[in-house]
């Protein structure tokens, strides 16, 4: 009797290897100009590219982009790709939305950075409150910075040291959050470059959806803040179970910790983000990436109560550097683009279009998965869709880590890319923008069908 061949998430290893070899050869054959440009330019950059993540695409080398409009990206070899990566959320509302492009042109004639407010600054504040609720805002350049500053405020007002994060989370390159759970203990993640701090002295990792674990950590009295996404979007997609967010709110109040919601990715949920759609009430709200239509901007807002607590603290601290802020933050270009995005791009109509398209995409992918009999599933959070190469639902970061199959996922990504659809490199994430057309969605579903048909043949 012949033994079954080894399989990864239902795909036979020999089939996966053959598929990868074919798709890699096809990619190399069809992208000679990108390859040549990368080779020509590589000497100037550490590791060959200006940002090391550019080498994390599953293709043999990254494509060199020429331009992007709406939900279309053109590369150096002339391929017009349907873009579902959308700059990993930076362009979730489409590339260069017209109102944002107009605002950039206007502001470019009026100066780029002054370290002074403009009238648009105050209009943006009004629009932020209208969109997200009653918060007292600060503006940063990246969501990483916004989270970093929010944590400082939480530590300052509570006088406590530690942040509670969920195993498998990602909140940007914030040192304090780069921890994981291993055999029930918090430790630094492997691979951190140049790390000298003992991260376990500043953070506690708990599994998502583990209310008892959260309470046990809070009961130590050491936790200044819980920092969480409403949905874990960075290790597959892990949805909150019923009652989880209510428990976080109740427990954080009971034990005096600040509740920080990072909505950088879950802004896909609907107007105002997941928290607004689901009536959550964080103490600090963080939103980054696409909040100003693709111009580097993040906002972080404190409830009026927490704002008052921070002002009281601030009045008593000694003069000197606060450890928060960067020179170009809150520049006039950011406010011009915030106003344009919040008033003309992030509209109920745009979200309705995104939601319809994402539903069409999720249904199409799920139908393909069922047809080939893959033990996979699809998760959707508004405009954000992810296929996961394991049965679901996943409950937490540990389950999500076990559901990852990087070689297989890379093969699917490459199969899609060779057939004209670009999806996010780090996970199996696809975004539907207000500018994404139904036929682009149908092409992605067809490419997924063709790829899985080969892999599961």
Ligand X SMILES: Cc1ncc(COP(=O)(O)O)c(C=O)c1O
Residues that bind ligand X (CB under 6 A): 142-144, 147, 170-172, 229, 234, 262, 264-265, 288-289
Of 16 and 232, CB closest to ligand X? 232
Measured from the CB of residue 27, what is the shortest distance to ligand X in angstroms? 25
* Residues in CB range of 78: below 8 A, 6 or more apart: none
DSSP code per residue over 366-430? HHHHHHHT-S-EEEEETTEEEEESS-S---SHHHHHHH--HHHHHHHHHHHHHTTEE--SSSSEE
446 contacts 104 by C-beta, under 8 angstroms = no
To 10 degrees, the CA torsion angle through 441, 446, 450, 452?
A: 60
- Please give the residue whose beta carbon sits closest to ligand X in the complex: 172
Of 148 and 309, CB closest to ligand X? 148
Q: What is the DSSP letter of 270?
A: S
Of 291 and 452, CB closest to ligand X? 291
Measured from the CB of residue 58, what is the shortest distance to ligand X in angstroms? 17
Of 11 and 388, CB closest to ligand X? 388
Measured from the CB of residue 370, what is the shortest distance to ligand X in angstroms? 30
Measured from the CB of residue 139, what is the shortest distance to ligand X in angstroms? 14
Of 9 and 199, CB closest to ligand X? 199
Of 146 and 156, CB closest to ligand X? 146
The owner of tokens 């906002």 is 299
Of 118 and 144, CB closest to ligand X? 144
- Using DSSP's 3-state secondary structure scheme, residue 110 falls into coil
Among 235, 236, 229, which residue's Cα sits nearest to residue 289?
Answer: 229
- Using DSSP's 3-state secondary structure scheme, residue 204 falls into strand
* Residues in CB range of 220: below 8 A, 6 or more apart: none
CA-CA distances (angstroms) from residue 355 to 120, 382, 385? Answer: 30, 5, 10
Measured from the CB of residue 416, what is the shortest distance to ligand X in angstroms? 21
Measured from the CB of residue 30, what is the shortest distance to ligand X in angstroms? 29
Token pair, residue 311, equals 């002002």
Token pair, residue 379, equals 């998760």
Of 263 and 399, CB closest to ligand X? 263
Calculate the CA 148 to chain-centre distance. 16
Q: How many residues does the chain have?
A: 457
Of 313 and 426, CB closest to ligand X? 426
Q: Cα 206–208–210 angle (5° rounding)? A: 75
Measured from the CB of residue 368, what is the shortest distance to ligand X in angstroms? 27
* Residues in CB range of 200: below 8 A, 6 or more apart: 179, 185, 186, 187, 188
Measured from the CB of residue 144, what is the shortest distance to ligand X in angstroms? 3
Measured from the CB of residue 424, what is the shortest distance to ligand X in angstroms? 10
To 10 degrees, the CA torsion angle through 317, 330, 273, 437?
A: -160
């Amino acid at each position: 009797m012949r033994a079954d061949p080894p399989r990864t998430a239902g795909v036979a290893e020999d089939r996966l290897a053959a598929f990868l070899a074919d798709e890699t050869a096809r990619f190399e054959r069809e992208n000679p100009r990108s390859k040549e440009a990368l080779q020509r330019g590589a000497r100037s950059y550490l590791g060959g590219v200006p940002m090391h993540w550019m080498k994390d695409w599953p293709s043999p080398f990254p494509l060199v982009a020429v331009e992007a409009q709406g939900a279309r990206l053109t590369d150096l070899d002339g391929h017009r790709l349907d873009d579902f990566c959308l700059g990993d959320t930076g362009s979730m509302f489409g590339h260069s939305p017209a109102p944002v492009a107009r605002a950039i042109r206007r502001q470019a004639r009026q100066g780029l950075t002054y370290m002074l407010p403009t009238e648009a600054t105050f209009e943006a504040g009004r629009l932020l409150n209208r969109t997200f609720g009653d918060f007292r805002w600060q503006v940063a350049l990246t969501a990483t910075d916004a989270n970093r500053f929010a944590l400082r405020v939480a530590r300052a007002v509570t006088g406590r040291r530690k942040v509670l994060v969920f195993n498998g989370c990602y909140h940007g390159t914030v040192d304090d959050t780069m921890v994981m759970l291993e055999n029930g203990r918090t430790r630094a993640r492997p691979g951190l470059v140049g790390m000298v701090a003992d991260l376990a002295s500043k953070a506690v990792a708990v599994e998502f959806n583990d209310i008892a674990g959260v309470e046990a950590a809070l009961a130590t009295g050491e936790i200044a803040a819980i920092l969480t996404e409403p949905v874990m979007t960075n290790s597959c997609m892990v949805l909150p179970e019923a009652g989880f967010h209510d428990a976080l709110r109740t427990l954080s109040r009971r034990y005096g910790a600040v509740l920080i919601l990072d909505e950088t990715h879950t802004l896909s949920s609907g107007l105002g983000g997941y928290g607004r759609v689901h009536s959550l009430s964080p103490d600090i709200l963080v939103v980054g990436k696409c909040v100003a239509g693709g111009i580097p901007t993040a906002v972080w807002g404190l409830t009026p109560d927490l704002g008052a607590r921070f002002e009281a603290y601030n009045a008593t601290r000694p003069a000197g550097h606060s450890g928060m802020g960067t020179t170009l933050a809150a520049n006039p270009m950011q406010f011009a683009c915030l106003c344009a995005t919040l008033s003309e791009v992030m509209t109920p109509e745009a979200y309705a279009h995104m939601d319809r398209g994402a539903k069409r995409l999720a249904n199409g992918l799920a139908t393909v998965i069922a047809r080939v009999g893959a033990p996979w599933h699809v998760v959707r959070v508004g405009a954000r869709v992810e296929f996961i190469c394991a049965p679901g639902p996943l409950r937490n970061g540990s389950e999500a880590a076990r559901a990852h199959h990087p070689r297989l996922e890379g093969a699917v990504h490459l199969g899609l890319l060779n057939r004209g659809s670009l999806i996010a490199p780090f996970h199996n994430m696809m975004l539907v923008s207000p500018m994404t057309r139904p036929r682009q969605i149908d092409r992605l579903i067809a490419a997924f069908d063709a790829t899985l048909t080969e892999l599961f043949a």
